[in-house]
Amino acid sequence: MGDGSLSQDEIDALLQGADDMLSGSARVPAGDFAPAQAALSPVEREAVADFLNSSMSSVMPALSGYLGKNIIIGNALVEVKNADQIRADFPRQYVQVSVNFSGGVNGRNIVLLSMNDAGVISSLMMGDDSGTPPATLSEAHQSTLQEFVSQMMSTIATQLSNKIGKGVNTTAPDLTIVQGNIAVPGTPDVVKITYNLTIQNLINSKMYHLMNIELAGEIARGSYVPQMQQQEYRTDAAPQKSAQVGISPVRFPPLGEGMQSVPTGNINLLLDVPMTLTVELGRTRQLVKDILGLGEGSIIELDKLAGEPVDLLVNGKLIARGEVVVIDENFGVRVTDIVSPAERIAKMQT
């Protein structure tokens, strides 16, 4: 136009170019998920790696508490391979733990640990500070490994749910020991994530995470689409009025949201947290009429015999047992037995 203003066609062309710059090689409308592709682009692989590194950083303090040792899981390397290549990458014996996602996102996760690493982790969680791998992984050892992986997958599901604004559920972990016949979550393409795994001076190794390509795509889009907040452009469709271009404001996340500090696993950060310690002599159940009939001098029979250890509970969870003593006219408890980490984990799940 001669007056310097732009025609509607010129405005549409400019807006199309802006959309292409925001979305890279593929245009993804804000708030929508593009169809799953046969492979992840470099930008999508980087988004998946950043998301998983963030999730592992969030769960490491809890895992360190379970193990009694500092654990570091990070430097996720994301690759896309076909099913045959994946099987060829794992010819040796591994512990394989499967967890599925459902709800807002559907997909399958497979975590693979070498037999030595699995033995060290399960031994630490069973209370052996030396981390000596057991000769065989008993049912109790396998249970601790399932809990270990469940913590990781639950954290990933929670963070993904926060990203996409939809609930993501996890199934109970399923553990098997495999050699050369690992379960491949999807075909023909599979996403393989390799993490560096370090547990103080006991493990300096790799942990592997497989997922189907569709799940990885959902993670990638859920990671960068909401954060980029692609601008939406609208024009007035009425032909008799001059075209109006509306640009929605760019919404930035709160300062520091993307700068998550790497946890050190320092238990000193929790030393000032108040906890309620309860000593339980015993329990019993009574009818309402019996309780209303209580009076001075009534005797209530408990479910423990005289001389049996009393229970020590922290926030209602059993952690130890002991015997009652008298110290300068005050009652006390001498701790005689500490509940094993495996038993503590089982009780936390009930």
Taking only the tens place, the pLDDT of each residue in 278-298 is 888 888 888 888 888 888 888
Residue 344 has pLDDT above 80, yes or no: no
Longest dimension (CA), the chain: 105
Question: What's the pLDDT band for 251 if we cut at 50, 70, 90?
Answer: low
For residue 340, how far is the Cα from the chain centroid?
A: 24
For residue 154, how far is the Cα from the chain centroid?
A: 4
Long-range contacts from 28-34, C-beta under 8 angstroms, 24+ separation: 28/221, 28/225, 28/230, 29/230, 30/225, 30/229, 30/230, 30/231, 30/232, 31/225, 33/218, 33/221, 33/225, 34/217, 34/221
Residue 253 has pLDDT above 80, yes or no: no
d(Cα 90, Cα 232) in Å, to the nearest integer?
46
Q: What is the pLDDT of residue 281?
A: 83
| The pairing of beta strand 107-114 with beta strand 168-170 | unpaired
d(Cα 71, Cα 340) in Å, to the nearest integer?
20
Q: Taking the CA of residue 11 as centre, how many other CA atoms within 13 Å lie in the half-sphere pointing to its CB? A: 16
Question: What's the pLDDT band for 258 if we cut at 50, 70, 90?
Answer: very low
Amino acid at 197: L
Name the average pLDDT for the chain.
79
Closest CA to 25 of 44, 50, 38: 44
Q: What is the pLDDT of residue 16?
A: 59
Unique residue bearing structure tokens 């010129």: 10
Q: What is the pLDDT of residue 238?
A: 45
| pTM of the entire predicted model | 0.57
Looking at domain 42-235+250-269, its CATH class is: alpha beta
Residue 49 has pLDDT above 90, yes or no: yes
Find which of 151-155, 164-168, 256-260 is predicted with most confidence, using mean pLDDT: 151-155
Residue 70 has pLDDT above 70, yes or no: yes
What share of the chain in percent tops pLDDT 90?
Answer: 41
Cβ 310 vs Cβ 333: under 8 Å:
yes
Mean pLDDT to the nearest integer, 177-202: 91
Angle between helices 42-67 and 213-228 (to 10 degrees): 100
d(Cα 205, Cα 310) in Å, to the nearest integer?
43
d(Cα 15, Cα 7) in Å, to the nearest integer?
13
Helix, strand, coil in percent for the chain, rounding step 5? 35, 25, 40
| The pairing of beta strand 317-327 with beta strand 310-314 | antiparallel
For residue 53, how far is the Cα from the chain centroid?
A: 11
d(Cα 302, Cα 174) in Å, to the nearest integer?
40
Q: What is the pLDDT of residue 144?
A: 93
Q: What is the pLDDT of residue 56?
A: 94
User: For the residues of 35-99, what is the DSSP string, one character each?
Assistant: PPPSS--HHHHHHHHHHHHHHHHHHHHHHHHHHTS-EEEEEEEEEEEEHHHHHHH--SEEEEEEE
Residue 231 has pLDDT above 60, yes or no: no
Topology of the domain covering 274-349: Surface presentation of antigens (SPOA) (2.30.330)
Domain boundaries, the chain: 42-235+250-269, 274-349
Question: What's the pLDDT band for 6 if we cut at 50, 70, 90?
Answer: low
d(Cα 65, Cα 148) in Å, to the nearest integer?
11
Cβ partners under 8 Å of residue 115, min gap 6: 93, 94, 95, 133, 177
Q: Which residue has the higher pLDDT, 271 or 264?
A: 271
